Structure formats: structure tokens, C-alpha cells
Structure 1
Amino acid sequence: MNDLTPQFNERGVGKLPGHLGLVFTEVSALEVRGELAVLPHTMAPNGFLHAGSVVTLADTACGYGCVANLPKDATGFTTIELKSNHLGTALEGTIDCVAKPAHIGRTTQVWDAVVTHRDTGKTIALFRCTQMVLYRKQ
């Protein structure tokens, strides 16, 4: 855990990341690591891990990475596109996410994330998102 990580975990309290139980173990400009325990509230009605739970973990990891890379004069960001390929699922255990930047620009960032099952090492999803960096009008 680095110096930024506790403040990012605190950001999620009372919001969707906190509600789902996302925990981030590393947040830096070059890599974000997070995890999610597979529990009843993360499941779909069919009994498998809900795709939305997986996307929330990956999108939040990428978003926290974007924040760690915002230019000094930026006021925030918004996700403008995301894509996920779901290659597996989980019934129990913990899923892990590693997000890394593919492009860090002044107006956009592109992040890739891989979500895996901790116990089996099986890839659950591949994820890519593009964020637009926001600036306040002068």
C-alpha cells in the first residue's frame, strides 16, 4: 500500500465502490490494484458473479488511476467509453484487478485492466476505458 491508497479507499465510502466492498491495495500513476470479495450482493440472479460487479471494480481502478494522473489545472474527469470482455465468472473467493495506463494525455486517458480470480488465476475480464479530462472554463 502506498501513501495515496488510503485516501482512495476513503473516497469510496458511502458510494458504489464502498457499497460493493471494493478494496484498493495500490494506487499510483502507473498501476492500480484492487480486489472484491465474491459475496451474495455481488451476484446476479442466476447465481454467478454479476458483470456489473466486475465492471465496477475495473472502472473504479481505472478511474482512480486517472485521478492519480490528472494535470495540475484539471478539475476532474469523466469516463466517455468503456468496453469489457467477460471470459469467465466466479462463484466464490476474491477477484483481483490490475489497471495500467495505455495513454496519459492532457485531454484524454486510456486505461486497461485485467480482472482475475485470485485462487485459480483464471481471467474473468479484460477491460478498457477512455476518460476525458475536465477543466473549468476561465
Structure 2
Amino acid sequence: MKFTESEILEQCAKMCKNTLMETLEISFCEVGEDYLVAKMPVTPKVHQPDGVLHGGAMVALAESVGSAASYIFLNAKDFFIRGLEISANHVKSVKEGYVFGRAEIVHKGRTTQLWDIKIRDEEGNLISVVKLSTIALPKSK
């Protein structure tokens, strides 16, 4: 069964209720054949003490969009998706506006997946490059 973009984004929104994603105001805004995009507002809530976006908030955005993408693209109703490893290189700072995380699959194995996640600002400037490995663990029947 193939879902529409709006149905997928609606499902992602439902998954965010009462989670870190809701706390950070992360929302999913675009999905394609092999990618998922989420956005997060840059406000003092996610700043480090000197007034720029905290690297940990960027990593939370990246893991959120990568894990959601694993769930969507693996049709994971029979699996739990968990992050195995994440690494981030922050290349530019941001003080306000929105940042957008775009997760694209690099390797789609049955058990492990590798995601390339680029975080950009509203002007398309590269803010952070993130690599995320996820694992699909079978749910008990």
C-alpha cells in the first residue's frame, strides 16, 4: 500500500506527540522517494550560552529525521528503529530562523541502514553534516 506525502507527514507528526521532537518543535515538512525533511526553529530554547544554535539540538534534529526516514522507508510496522551511531560536523552557526534536516539513504540493509543528513538554514547554507547508522529490530509477536 502506497501512502501519499500528506499521509506520511501526518503520521510523522503523530509520532512526535509528547517526545523530544515536540519539545524542540521539530516538524516534518517534505518527503520524496528516497528522502525526508524536518525543520526546527532556532530560538533561545535551542541556543548555547553565547546565543547560537546548540550542536546537540542539531544532532537531535538529525537523529529524529533519520530515524523517522528509516521507519517510513523500511515499512517498519514490524520493527523498532534505533540509532546505533551518529557523528556530526558543524560548519556554520545560526542565531535565528529555521534549520532543515534532509535525510537521504546511503545504505538500506535489512538490519542496518546508513543515512546522510545535511542540515541547512533558510537560505540553503550548509550548517552541519551528519552520518547516522540505524538498526531495525524485530518486534516480538
1:124 equivalent in alignment to 2:120: no
Q: Residue 11 of structure 2: which of 7, 10, 25 is its match?
A: 7
Contact 1:70 1:76 survives alignment (8 Å): no
**Number of residue-to-residue matches in the alignment:** 137
Between Structure 1 and Structure 2, the one with more helix by share is 2
Give the distance between the partners of 1:3 and 1:136, measured in 2 at CA: 23
SS in 2 for 1:3: helix
Give the distance between the partners of 2:33 and 2:9, measured in 1 at CA: 11
Structure 2 unaligned regions, length at least 5: none
Contact 2:87 2:132 survives alignment (8 Å): yes
Aligned ranges 1:59-78 → 2 under 5 Å: 59-70=63-74, 74-78=78-82
Q: Return the offset for 1:75.
A: 2.1
1:135–1:21 Cα change, 3 Å: same
Give the distance between the partners of 1:19 and 1:135, measured in 2 at CA: 28
Aligned ranges 1:49-68 → 2 under 5 Å: 49-68=53-72
Give the distance between the partners of 2:18 and 2:140, measured in 1 at CA: 30
Aligned-residue identity in percent: 25
Aligned ranges 1:85-124 → 2 under 5 Å: 85-119=89-123, 121-124=124-127
Q: Residue 31 of structure 1: which of 29, 32, 35 is its match?
A: 35
Structure 1 unaligned regions, length at least 5: none
Q: Return the offset for 1:38.
A: 0.7
- Measured on the aligned residues, the alpha-carbon RMSD in Å equals 1.8
1:62–1:73 Cα change, 3 Å: closer
Q: Return the offset for 1:28.
A: 5.0
Partner of 1:44: 48
1:70–1:43 Cα change, 3 Å: same
Partner of 1:134: 137
TM-score, normalised by the number of residues in structure 1: 0.90
Q: Return the offset for 1:137.
A: 5.6
TM-score, normalised by the number of residues in structure 2: 0.89
Contact 2:43 2:96 survives alignment (8 Å): yes
Give the distance between the partners of 1:134 and 1:89, measured in 2 at CA: 36
